[in-house]
Structure 1
Amino acid sequence: MHATLRQLRLFLALAETGSVTAAAREQHVTQPTVSMQLKQLADSVGLPLYEVTGRKLHLTEAGERLAQTCRDLFDRWDAFEMEVDGLRGLTRGRLRVAVVSTAKYFIPRLLGPFSERYPAIEVSLEVANRDRIVSRLEQNLDDLVIMTAPPEHLDLRTEPLLENPLVLVGALAHPLAKRTRPAPRGVLSQERFILREPGSGTRISCERAFAEWGFVPQVRMALGSNEAIKQAVAGGYGIAVLSRHALDRDPQHDGLALLQVQGFPIRSRWYLVTRREKRLSPVAEAFLAFVKASVETVKA
């Protein structure tokens, strides 16, 4: 019997998500790739591993046993990786991470578990606006940077990290708050906006989307803090575009309503950024791998 680690990871993803589509999304591959790899795995085992009745996927007895074997295997592999980390000297060291201010809403959910796994590693976290983060990149001060709009004038290595949907919010009493279907974009011409300061990642993403729509917003004020914007919007001073990560799971707790308008949420993404010429330390490499493996836990 021959099976690759890739096939086993894809099968475990299938077993845990319950669909080929979800497994493909989780493993960042195409659906045909998953189907092909799983067929090869089933051929190698010599028995069907799952069946679909109606629209529901069920593991066969062989599939259930293989899924448990995969879990045992990857649990042991994780333990082995931690042992190797110790051999690499990751029982101590320092990690320097810089993030734009909006990322402060999710970065603790990554740094906390990482620090638990590597308690002797000193983690330095810098939270600042985009201009300050770009300056730190220029000076090569950090091991890794998390931001939404990497600067184009630097030679950088960027890796997609996490979706950062930008949503439209208004006060609870706003007329659009009651809509269940998106209103046309034309209604925005009647609104006054409270936006992040020029140069922020959120503002850059907004301006790109607005330019594509041929829309020029009436900007009532620009603020450098998501918290200040939320307070102003809740007070009825205008509407705003904010990262979904900056809001409570139930925005009403912030006194806000998600407004349904065509074009929202605006698609945006967080990136892991380093200078291309920078050689990552073993600690930074470990954090990079840890983040990639843990990103599902911080989805908005």
Structure 2
Amino acid sequence: MTTPKLLNRLTFRQLQVFRAVYEQHSYSRAAEALGLTQPAVSAQIRQLEQAIGQPLFKYAGRTLHLLPAADALAASTRAIFGQVSRLQMTLSDMDGTISGELNLAAVSTAQYVVPHLLARFRAHYPYVQVRLRVCNRSQALVRLAERRDDLVIMARVPEDDELTFMPILDNEMIPVVWPGHPLLDADRPTLEDFARHYVLMREPGSGVRSAFEERAAEQDVTLSHAIELGTNEAVKQGVMAQLGVAVLPRLAVRLEIEAGLLAPLDLPGFPLRHSWCTVHPRDHFPTPVTELFLRFVRDHLDELHEHFAAPPSPMPSHGVDCLPVTAY
């Protein structure tokens, strides 16, 4: 097949659908991400396979396998869409606006930090459409492996040379109890003393739970009296209701501690410290908007650190009303 014939038969829509299927490893998930029906996705892929004269995917049972032509096309598609994105950024810069999409996934503990970054970023670049999905650590690792997002924001980044990451803020996890809890008056309480109470914990796959369980194993402490609750907010409310004790991110409870609704407990081996990081696969080249966001985060790290290191207070004004941009 000659190059002109291939150029005449390829469409950007086919490549867009292909990219979604390739990254999601699923026709149904690609259809959901694109807002299409699964038959529409299948039809686009069939047309693309006819255009290039090669099969791209093959199902074995319920598993979608990538064929060699898919890997070759994926590399070219990344380059094509990267150039189109850069063209869009150049044109936007010429008329005084920068537009595009930024798709983020963040572990649930990072939800106390990421909105502050997004507010600043959107104030400077109001035409960028931002999407944020909050998930637990296990889900974040799956999304990272399947390249579903431009960036994943998480702590405890896996030791993997194929990942690129940038630390943005420390995540301290601390033991908390309700005011008046007997352990607050105990002489040098230990994690073993803590574990004799009902311990409220997130679901399996949560980063906070995994870090806590690892520390308990290091100290040879069994967490025999656990009550599983689905979110950090539910755990926090459970401690305030005197249902049990918990280990939670300091940023998740700093307002309640300041208000006297919760009390931090000093235990050996705590706080647990990990850094939230922006993460993406090394071979998943950032889009221009993603590069812009990463540069923006680097430029505002000092401001972010200063705010969260101080007692709770409103963020300094960024001087922009949070109103939708109106096209005239």
With the shorter chain as reference, the TM-score category is 0.5 to 0.7
Output aligned runs, 1:8-23, within 5 Å: none
Structure 1 contact 176–260 (Cα < 8 Å) conserved: no
CA offsets 1:170-223 (integer angstroms, 9 cap, x no match): 1112112357x8534442343321111111111111122222222222332111
What is residue 38 of structure 1 aligned with on the other side? none
Change (3 A) 1:254 1:277: farther
Of 132, 139, 143, 1:132 maps to 139
Please report how far the alpha carbon of residue 233 of structure 1 lies from its aligned counterpart in structure 2 after TM superposition.
0.9
Q: What amino acid sits opposite 1:133 in the alignment?
A: A
In the other structure, the counterpart of 1:100 is 107
TM alignment of 1:12-91, pairs within 5 A: 86=93, 91=98
Amino-acid identity (%):
37
Give the corresponding residue for 2:271: 265
Normalised TM-score (structure 1): 0.65
Shift of 1:151: 4.6
CA distance change for structure 1 residues 258 and 88 in 2, over 3 Å: closer, same or farther? farther
Correspondence for 2:69? none
Distance 2:282 2:176 in 1: 37
SS in 2 for 1:122: strand
CA contact 2:199–2:245 (8 Å) conserved in 1: yes
Aligned counterparts of 1:147 and 1:139: Cα–Cα separation in 2:
16
**2:254 paired residue number:** 248
Query: Contact conserved, 2:173 with 2:249, CA < 8 A, in 1?
Result: yes
Q: CA contact under 8 A between 1:97 and 1:144: conserved in structure 2? A: yes
- CA displacement at 1:164 relative to structure 2: 0.3
Unpaired runs of 5+ residues, structure 2, are: 1-89, 310-328
- Give the distance between the partners of 1:136 and 1:241, measured in 2 at CA: 26
* Counterpart residue type for residue 232 of structure 1: G
In the alignment, is the contact (CA less than 8 A) between 1:234 and 1:254 conserved in 2?
no
Which residue type is aligned with residue 147 of structure 1? M
Superposition map of 1:219-238 within 5 A: 219-238=225-244
Structure 2 distance, partners of 1:209, 1:88, is 54
Larger radius of gyration: 2
Give the superposition deviation at 1:229: 0.5
Q: Secondary structure at the match of 2:268?
A: coil
Aligned residues: 218
Deviation at 1:116, TM superposition (A): 0.6
Q: Distance between the aligned counterparts of 1:288 and 1:166, measured in 2?
A: 25
Q: Read off the aligned partner of 2:265 and give its amino acid letter.
A: L
Give ranges in structure 1 of 5+ residues lacking alignment: 1-82
Distance in 2 between the 1:134 and 1:90 partners? 34
Q: Find the counterpart in structure 1 of residue 205 from structure 2.
A: 199
What RMSD over aligned residues (CA atoms) do the two structures have, in Å? 2.9
CA–CA distance in structure 1, aligned partners of residues 140 and 130 of structure 2: 17
| CA deviations over 1:47-81 (Å, ceiling 9, x no partner) | xxxxxxxxxxxxxxxxxxxxxxxxxxxxxxxxxxx
